[in-house]
Structure 1
Amino acid sequence: MRILGLDTSTSTVSVAVLEGPAEPVGPAAAAPRVLAAADVHEGNRPAELLAPTIKQVLAEAGLGPRDLGAVAAGVGPGPFTGLRAGLVTARALAHVVGVPVHGVCSLDALHAAALAAGGPADAVVVTDARRREVYWATYRDGRRTGDPQVGAPAEAAARAAALGVPVVGRGALVHADVLGAPPEALPLDPPAVQVAALALASLAGRGPQPLPADPLYLRRPDAQVPGAPKRVTG
Structure 2
Amino acid sequence: MLLLAIDTSANASAALLAVQGSTVAVRGAFTSDKTNDHSEVLAPAIEAMLRASGGAKPDAIAVGVGPGPFTGLRVGLATARTLGFAWDVPVHGVMSLDAIALGALAGEPKDDFTVAIDARRKELYWARYDKHGELIDGPHVTVAEEVPPGDIYGAGAGLYAQRLVAVGANPVPGFEDSHPDAVALGTRAAQALATGTALLGTEPLYLRESDAKVPAVMKGKLL
TM-score above 0.5, yes or no: yes
The residue number in structure 1 matching 2:9 is 9
Q: Percent identity?
A: 42
1:66-115 Cα deviation digits (max 9, x unpaired): 52101110000001000001000111111111111110000111111222
Is 1:32 the counterpart of 2:30? The answer is: no
2:156 pairs with 1:171: yes
Superposed CA offset, 1:134-193 (max 9, x none): 10011112211022000111111xx1x2xxx21110111222231258433346011211
Comparing 100-109 with 41-50, greater Cα deviation is found at 41-50
Does the aligned pair in 1 maintain the 2:22–2:191 contact within 8 Å? no
Q: Distance in 1 between matches of 2:49 and 2:157?
A: 29
Question: Which runs of 5 or more structure 1 residues have no equivalent in the other structure?
Answer: 22-28
Task: Give me the CA root mean square deviation.
Answer: 2.0
Of 139, 146, 160 in structure 2, the residue corresponding to residue 148 of structure 1 is 139
Is the contact between residue 113 and residue 191 of structure 1 (CA under 8 Å) also seen in structure 2?
no
- Count of matched residue positions in the alignment of Structure 1 and Structure 2: 212
TM-score (norm 1): 0.83
Structure 1 residue identity aligned to 2:40: E
Map 1:95-134; keep pairs closer than 5 Å.
Answer: 95-116=85-106, 118=107, 120=109, 122-134=112-124
Whole-angstrom distance in 1 between the partners of 2:172 and 2:33: 19
**Aligned counterparts of 1:43 and 1:119: Cα–Cα separation in 2:** 30
Q: Which runs of 5+ in 2 are unaligned?
A: none
Distance (whole Å) between structure 2 residues aligned to residue 179 and residue 53 of structure 1: 36
Equivalent residue letter for 2:157: A
TM-score (norm 2): 0.87
Alignment partners' CA distance in 1, 2:151 and 2:135: 14
Q: In the alignment, is residue 212 of structure 1 matched against residue 197 of structure 2?
A: no
